[in-house]
Amino acid sequence: MEDQMIKEILVSEEQIKKRVKELGEQITKDYQGKEPVVVGILKGAVVFLSDLIREIKIPIHIDFMAVSSYGKSSISTGEVRIIKDLDFSVEEKDIIIVEDIIDTGLTLGYLKELLVKRGADSVKICTLLDKPERRKININVDYIGFTIPDEFIIGYGLDYNEKYRNYPFVAALKEEYYK
């Protein structure tokens, strides 16, 4: 590992495992008698989604979307582009959007509104990481793994220039590497 790039580990592998199990248990309880569609937002949410769905003990369906509001920058442009849309209709379905991190809220606000317009019965949001300091719109997040400070984050699915997603923890990247 390139430890010299890491400013500090914010969430350990053990903390993540414990919290993902708790989130899975809560979703299982909240959706008893239903079969929600779990929508993973590519690429960052893949690791979280993979661990989370193993902790959900009810029937579920899985689909994916790929969206971009960053381009190659470390700062959101605010413009949301759908790169890969869902394979299935969300009409009359209960949707759980699974995201790696929410900062401005613009992407998730856009996606939630889009899925409601497409006829979903309900749309809830589950995120591993929440950065409320960066919020630009008021968005209700139903399931939050961890609230973190305003740092550039890598690990557990989150990347910088498509690297570091495979780290089993969440760490802050030193500023000199992304500025």
Task: Please tell me which residue in 103, 130, 142, 159 is annotated as part of the active site.
Answer: 103
pLDDT of residue 79: 75
The DSSP call for residue 178 is: T
Residues 6+ apart with CB under 8 A from 38: 49, 52, 53, 56, 60, 61, 62, 63, 96, 98
Identify whether the C-beta of residue 148 lies closer than 8 Å to the C-beta of residue 129. yes
Length of the chain: 179
In angstroms, the CA 143 to CA 134 distance is 18
Tens digit of pLDDT for each residue in 104-148?
A: 898 899 999 999 999 999 999 999 999 998 889 999 999 999 999
pLDDT of residue 4: 86
Tens digit of pLDDT for each residue in 31-67?
A: 999 999 999 999 999 999 999 999 999 999 999 999 9
Query: Does the active-site annotation cover 30?
Result: no
Q: Helix (H, G, I), strand (E, B), or coil: what is residue 97? A: strand
Query: How many Cα atoms are found within 13 Å in the side-chain-facing hemisphere of 138?
Result: 0
∠ CA 54-46-57, nearest 5°, is: 15
Domain borders along the chain are: 3-177
Residue 72 pLDDT > 60, yes or no?
no
Residues 6+ apart with CB under 8 A from 37: 60, 61, 62, 63, 88, 90, 93, 94, 95, 96
**Domain 3-177: which CATH number of 3.40.30.10, 3.30.559.10, 3.40.50.10800, 3.40.50.2020:** 3.40.50.2020
